[in-house]
Chain A
């Protein structure tokens, strides 16, 4: 089955700097890769996603890149703000039914 790894597990950046979180997946059949942001005690919120027919997608300060050959995808946050502090989860799925999540990255944006 699919296995998703995520690095780093914790990340601290200064406000205004960029943050990058990387995920790798094992199943080459996976074709949809969403990213979720979870604040303490709250639900994971879908912030951006990418499908396998696209190499990059951007939404304001957030972007995701996908390298199908290497089977990895990354989340990029530019001009980080304190409200970006949260736990971020990547996920991969092939059928759209079985979503496999990474272990999460705790991002702290320091003022």
Chain B
């Protein structure tokens, strides 16, 4: 299967600071990547769809100024949580579609964000 790398795997930050999470497709090009948020014992909540070379598409209720997404290349998308607050603490996961693998969806390893 295709490999999606996500960094960092965990981060602790102070309230008010910004945190950047990287999502890379290692062995394939991904014109589209997705960012999810997952609360304990719950399903994957789609936050936004990241499109290479254009603006991200945000789901209803997700603040685009709070969760900045940049997809500057075919292998890298970043999610920046700006002015983080404790309620932003969560598990964030990215995913990407690999055309080489038959248009299948593969996930990054996730980032556990804890805001103090």
Which A residues contact B (CB, under 8 angstroms)?
32, 34, 36, 41-46, 49, 89, 91, 96-97, 99, 101-104, 106
Q: Does B79 have its Cβ within 8 Å of any Cβ on chain A?
A: no
- Specify the chain B residue showing the minimal Cβ separation from A9: B41
Pair B110/A42 contact, Cβ less than 8 Å: yes
Pair B107/A44 contact, Cβ less than 8 Å: yes
Residues of B within 8 A of A99 (CB): 34, 95, 105
Pair B104/A103 contact, Cβ less than 8 Å: no
Q: Does B106 have its Cβ within 8 Å of any Cβ on chain A?
A: yes
Q: How far is the CA of A106 from the CA of B91 in the complex (A)?
A: 18
Residues of B within 8 A of A97 (CB): 32, 49, 97
Query: Nearest 4 CB-CB pairs, A to B?
Result: A43-B107, A96-B103, A103-B43, A43-B109
Pair B104/A49 contact, Cβ less than 8 Å: yes
Least CB distance from B24 to A in Å reads 14
Least CB distance from B36 to A in Å reads 9
- Specify the chain B residue showing the minimal Cβ separation from A106: B41
Instruction: Determine chain B's interface SS by DSSP, over half rule.
Output: strand
Total interface residues on B, CB under 8 Å, equals 22
Can you show 10 pairs from A to B with CB atoms below 8 A apart? Answer: A32-B103, A36-B107, A41-B91, A42-B109, A43-B107, A44-B107, A49-B104, A97-B49, A97-B97, A104-B42
Q: Contacts A44-B107, A46-B105 given: A101-B32 contact, CB under 8 Å?
A: no
Residues of B within 8 A of A43 (CB): 6, 93, 107-110
Which positions 54-71 of chain B face chain A at CB distance < 8 Å?
A: none
Q: How far is the CA of A22 from the CA of B103 in the complex (A)?
A: 23
Pair B43/A101 contact, Cβ less than 8 Å: yes
Q: How far is the CA of A49 from the CA of B43 in the complex (A)?
A: 19
Q: Does B44 have its Cβ within 8 Å of any Cβ on chain A?
A: yes
Residues of B within 8 A of A101 (CB): 43-44
Residues of A within 8 A of B6 (CB): 43
Pair A89/B1 contact, Cβ less than 8 Å: no
